[in-house]
Amino acid sequence: MAILKIARMGHPVLAQKAQMVEDPTAPEIRRLVRDMIETMIDANGAGLAAPQVHVPLRLAVFQAPEDRAEQRLSEAERYDQTAPLTVIINPEIEIAGPEMEGGWEGCLSIPGMRGFVERPAHVRYRGVDHEMRPIARTAKGFHARVLQHELDHLDGILYPQRMRDLTKLIFESEAKHWVPAAEAEE
């Protein structure tokens, strides 16, 4: 396994639509998946798409751990808002409701920055993993957000392109100023 170099905003691989994976079980795909997982964990990321490691294929890895879900959720709701370490190849996504939800996002390809992005709050998605096992899930909350963020990479979209208000594109080091300001508004 190897830690892969992460492409940064401005690299052409991040601006192009990724190609379908012809054989999800191919040895080179399995190796890529292992290396991507290791790279994501090493970088302390919640997800990583193949274009972020200079490979323009429709493949992503992500996780939505339980500690990122709201504590007041019922067990049924928690299932939709959390996800184990997941490998998804050639994914398809469908918006499952009209509700939008805003949240702060970061990206391994835009280090040191955070942006406030509004996304559909409820989605359904499907694809296969590197063993050709089908994946079909419903996602809400952080699970939906991280999935949509990673799938955007497969279409050449970075989160600032989804932002409605670029005054909410900030350095991570300045995020501490936003929490007290948001609490004061309530």
Active site residues: 150
> Would you state the structure tokens that stand for residue 117, as one six-digit string?
């992005």
Distance between CA 9 and CA 115 in Å, rounded?
14
Distance between CA 84 and CA 77 in Å, rounded?
15
Distance between CA 8 and CA 173 in Å, rounded?
19
Considering just the CA atoms, what is the radius of gyration of the chain in Å? 16
DSSP string, 63-130: EE-GGGS-TT--HHHHHHH-EEEEEEEEEEEEE--S-EEEEEEEETTEEEEEEEEEEESEEEEEEE-T
Distance between CA 24 and CA 28 in Å, rounded?
9
Interacting residues of 53 by C-beta distance below 8 A, sequence separation 6+: 4, 5, 6, 7, 32, 35, 36, 39
